[in-house]
Amino acid sequence: MAMLVRLLTKGVIKHTRKAAKALPCSTPPQKIWFDNCTISDFELGQVLGAGNFGQVFIARHVKSNIICTVKFISKAAVLKARQVAHVKSERDILRKIDFPFILNLLGFCQDDKYVYLILEYVSGGDFFSHLRARGKLDETTARFYAAQIVLSFEYLHSMDIIYRDLKPENLLLDTKGNLKIADFGFAKKIDLRTFTLCGTPDYLAPEIILAQGHEKPVDWWTLGVLIYEMLAGFPPFEDEDPSATYQKILEGKIHFPKHFSKSVKDLIRKLVTADLTKRIGCLKEGIREIKHHSWFVNVKWDNVLRKVDKPPIKPKPLSSPSDTSNFEEFEAITPLEHQSVLSEDDQAFFADL
C-alpha cells in the first residue's frame, strides 16, 4: 500500500490571489493549429496551474495575437518519474480528439528542457474553485455537468480511450459556464486491460487499487464519485490518509447525506460498485443504461451536445480575452531557468515527440 501512496498521491501547491496583467490579444477562430511553432513564438503571462512535471501559463501567440495556454512539461522530471510514455500518450490522444467538452490541443513543440503543449484558453476558471466557493451543488446543477461528462466519456470510449483522472480540479469552465475536460496525462488508448497504477486516491476504482487490470469501467466509477462530491462537497471515501481512503474504497460502503434524492443515490450505487457485472455503463445496454436512468430522465441529450441549455454556473465577466480573474494564481514550483538540460542519451527518449 505504501508504494501505491507514492505512485498515486499528487503534490500540493501553495497559491495566492493577485491581479495579473492582461495580454494584448484577439479572439481565436473556431479551429486553429500552430504548425512548426517554438516557445519563442509565445509571450507568456501568469501561471494558471502547477504540478509535479511543470506548470501551465496563459500566453499570446505573437504573430497571430491569439490567446492560448502553454503547458510546460519538464523533461528531467518526466524521466525521473519514468512517465515519458504518458507524455507521448497525452500528446497523441489530444491530437486525435475533437469534442465540445474536451480541451483542444493547438500545437506542440519541445526544446532541451521542456515539452510544450499549446492548448486553448478556457477562461471561466477551474470547476474545483467554483465547487469550493459554493460548498456543494444542487441536483439540477450537478446533473447539468454530469451529462456533459457522460457524453465526453461516450465519445472517448468510442475511440477506445480511457480518461482515468476525473476530478473537479481537471475540469474547466468556458466563458458561458460549460465544461471542458483537461489534463490527459493519464489517458490511454487501450485494446485490452491495462495495469498502470495511476489516478487520484479519492477517485480510484477498486480494480486499480488491487492491480487486477482495468478498462473503460474505471471512468464510470469516477463519474459516480464526482456526482457524490458535487452534491456533498466532499468525495465518498475521503480520508487524510490515502491508505485509509483505499481501504474505504475496497469496503465499498457509501454514506449518503440526507438531502440526496432516491434516484441519485441509486445512480451512484450503480456506478460506484466494485462488481463489474453490476456497474452500469459496462453492461449489455452500455451507456444507454446511464442515459436512461431515472436521474437523467428529463435530460435531452441532443440539447446537451449542442449546448442549448443555459449553464447553471456563470463565471465572472471578462475585461478582455486574456483576463485570468476567474483563476487563482499559482506560484511556479521551480523557476524555468533552473531546469537542467538533459544529456544526448536522455534527449533520445523524446526524439519521436
Annotation: binding site for ATP: 80
Q: Which residues contact 286 (CB under 8 A, 6 or more apart)?
A: none
- Given the residues 165, 202, 219, 323, the one annotated as active site: 165
- Measured at the alpha carbon of residue 290, what is the angle toward residues 288 and 293, in degrees to the nearest 5? 105
Query: What cell was used for 146?
Result: 454530469
| 10 Cα distance to chain centroid | 14
Check: CB of residue 162 under 8 Å from CB of residue 186. no
Kindly tell me the sign of the dihedral angle through the C-alpha atoms of 5, 6, 9, 13: positive
Residue 126 CA: distances (Å) to CA of 55, 58, 204: 15, 14, 21
How far is 267 from 288, CA to CA, in rounded Å? 13
How far is 162 from 245, CA to CA, in rounded Å? 23
Coil/strand/helix, residue 108:
strand
Q: Which residues contact 61 (CB under 8 A, 6 or more apart)?
A: 34, 37, 41, 42, 67, 68, 118
Check: CB of residue 239 under 8 Å from CB of residue 245. yes
List the one residue out of 168, 169, 252 whose CA is nearest residue 210.
252
Write the DSSP symbol of residue 236: T
Q: Supply φ then ψ for residue 57, to 5 degrees.
A: -115, 145
Clarify whether 239 is annotated catalytic.
Answer: no
How far is 136 from 142, CA to CA, in rounded Å? 9
Write the DSSP symbol of residue 179: E
Q: Which residues are designated catalytic?
A: 165
